[in-house]
Structure 1
Amino acid sequence: VPNYMVPHERNWREFAPEQPHPDIPYQCASVPFAARGHHWQGPGCENGCQVTGTFYACAPPESQTPGIPIEPSIRSGEALALSDCRLHICLYYREILVKEVTTSSPEGCRISHGQSYEVSSLDQVIFPYPEDNGQRKNIEKLLNHLERGVILWMAPDGLYAKRLCQSRIYWDGPLALCSDRPNKLERDQTCKLFDTQQFLAELQAFAHHGRPLPRYQVALCFGEEFPDPQRQRKLITAHVEPMFARQLYYFAQQNSGHLLRGYDLPELVTSPEDYHRSIRHSSIQE
Structure 2
Amino acid sequence: MQSPPKPQFASWLIEQVETGQYAGPSHVGQNKFRVPWKHNSRKDCNDEDNKIFRAWAVASGKINEFPNDKARWKTNFRCALNNLSERFKMIKDNSKNNDDPHKIYEIINTEQNHPSLPTQDPQDDLDMIPDIYSSPTEYFPSGNEINLLNNLMALDLDNHGTEEQLWAGEYNQPNPALLGSYPAAAENHPQVLPHQPSYYEVTPLSIYDLEISIHYRKREMLKMTVNISSTTRLQLHYQHEAPELNADRLCFPSTDDLLDHKQIEYTNRILSNIQRGLLLEVRNTGIYAVRQDRCHVFASTSDPSVAHPDPRKLPQNSMVELLSFENYVHELRQFKENNSGSPEYTINMCFGEKFPDGKPLEKKLIIVKVVPLICRHF
8 Å CA contact 1:82, 1:156 repeated in 2: no
- Counterpart selection for 1:155 from 283, 306, 309: 283
8 Å CA contact 1:105, 1:122 repeated in 2: no
**Any stretches of 5+ residues in structure 2 without a counterpart?**
1-150, 156-168, 174-202
- Counterpart selection for 1:165 from 293, 304, 318: 293
**Any stretches of 5+ residues in structure 1 without a counterpart?**
1-69, 249-286
Distance in structure 2 (CA, Å) of the matches to 1:146 and 1:101: 20
Distance in structure 2 (CA, Å) of the matches to 1:243 and 1:104: 10
Q: Corresponding residue for 1:84?
A: 207
Q: Corresponding residue for 2:14?
A: none
8 Å CA contact 1:220, 1:237 repeated in 2: yes
Higher strand share: 1
Q: Corresponding residue for 2:348?
A: 219
Q: Which amino acid aligns with 2:278?
A: V
Residues 72 and 136 of structure 1: CA distance in aligned 2, closer, same or farther (over 3 Å): closer
Following TM superposition, by how much is the alpha carbon of 1:71 offset from its aligned partner in structure 2, in angstroms?
9.2
8 Å CA contact 1:163, 1:188 repeated in 2: yes
Q: Corresponding residue for 2:66?
A: none
1:171-224 CA deviation, whole Å, 9 max, x = no partner? 1126x9x93332100101111111111111222222233632111011111111
Residues 219 and 240 of structure 1: CA distance in aligned 2, closer, same or farther (over 3 Å): same
8 Å CA contact 1:81, 1:244 repeated in 2: no
Q: Corresponding residue for 2:374?
A: 244
Distance in structure 1 (CA, Å) of the matches to 2:268 and 2:172: 41
Using the TM superposition, name which of 153-162 and 198-207 deviates more: 198-207
Kindly report which structure 2 residues correspond to 1:1-286, keeping only aligned pairs within 5 A, or say none.
Answer: 73-74=154-155, 83-106=206-229, 107-130=232-255, 131-134=257-260, 135-173=263-301, 179-209=308-338, 211-230=340-359, 232=361, 233-248=363-378
Following TM superposition, by how much is the alpha carbon of 1:115 offset from its aligned partner in structure 2, in angstroms?
4.4
- The secondary structure found in structure 2 opposite 1:144 is helix
8 Å CA contact 2:205, 2:374 repeated in 1: no
- The secondary structure found in structure 2 opposite 1:219 is strand
8 Å CA contact 2:210, 2:228 repeated in 1: no
The alignment's TM-score, normalised by the length of structure 2, stands at 0.42
Residues 219 and 72 of structure 1: CA distance in aligned 2, closer, same or farther (over 3 Å): closer
Q: Corresponding residue for 1:64?
A: none
Residues 138 and 193 of structure 1: CA distance in aligned 2, closer, same or farther (over 3 Å): same
Using the TM superposition, name which of 80-89 and 238-247 deviates more: 80-89
The alignment's TM-score, normalised by the length of structure 1, stands at 0.55
Distance in structure 1 (CA, Å) of the matches to 2:319 and 2:358: 27
Q: Aligned pairs, how many?
A: 177
- The secondary structure found in structure 2 opposite 1:209 is coil
Distance in structure 1 (CA, Å) of the matches to 2:331 and 2:376: 14
State the superposition RMSD in angstroms.
3.1
Higher helix share: 2
Distance in structure 2 (CA, Å) of the matches to 1:85 and 1:72: 17
Following TM superposition, by how much is the alpha carbon of 1:93 offset from its aligned partner in structure 2, in angstroms?
0.3
Q: Percent identity?
A: 23
Using the TM superposition, name which of 200-209 and 186-195 deviates more: 200-209
- The secondary structure found in structure 1 opposite 2:369 is strand
Distance in structure 1 (CA, Å) of the matches to 2:210 and 2:249: 12
Distance in structure 2 (CA, Å) of the matches to 1:240 and 1:92: 12
Distance in structure 2 (CA, Å) of the matches to 1:81 and 1:118: 31
- The secondary structure found in structure 2 opposite 1:184 is coil
Using the TM superposition, name which of 189-198 and 110-119 deviates more: 110-119
Q: Which amino acid aligns with 2:258?
A: D
Residues 72 and 138 of structure 1: CA distance in aligned 2, closer, same or farther (over 3 Å): closer
- The secondary structure found in structure 1 opposite 2:337 is helix
Following TM superposition, by how much is the alpha carbon of 1:247 offset from its aligned partner in structure 2, in angstroms?
2.8
Following TM superposition, by how much is the alpha carbon of 1:120 offset from its aligned partner in structure 2, in angstroms?
4.4
Residues 157 and 76 of structure 1: CA distance in aligned 2, closer, same or farther (over 3 Å): farther
- The secondary structure found in structure 2 opposite 1:201 is helix
Residues 138 and 199 of structure 1: CA distance in aligned 2, closer, same or farther (over 3 Å): same
Residues 246 and 110 of structure 1: CA distance in aligned 2, closer, same or farther (over 3 Å): farther
The higher radius of gyration belongs to: 1
Distance in structure 2 (CA, Å) of the matches to 1:71 and 1:132: 41
- The secondary structure found in structure 1 opposite 2:313 is strand
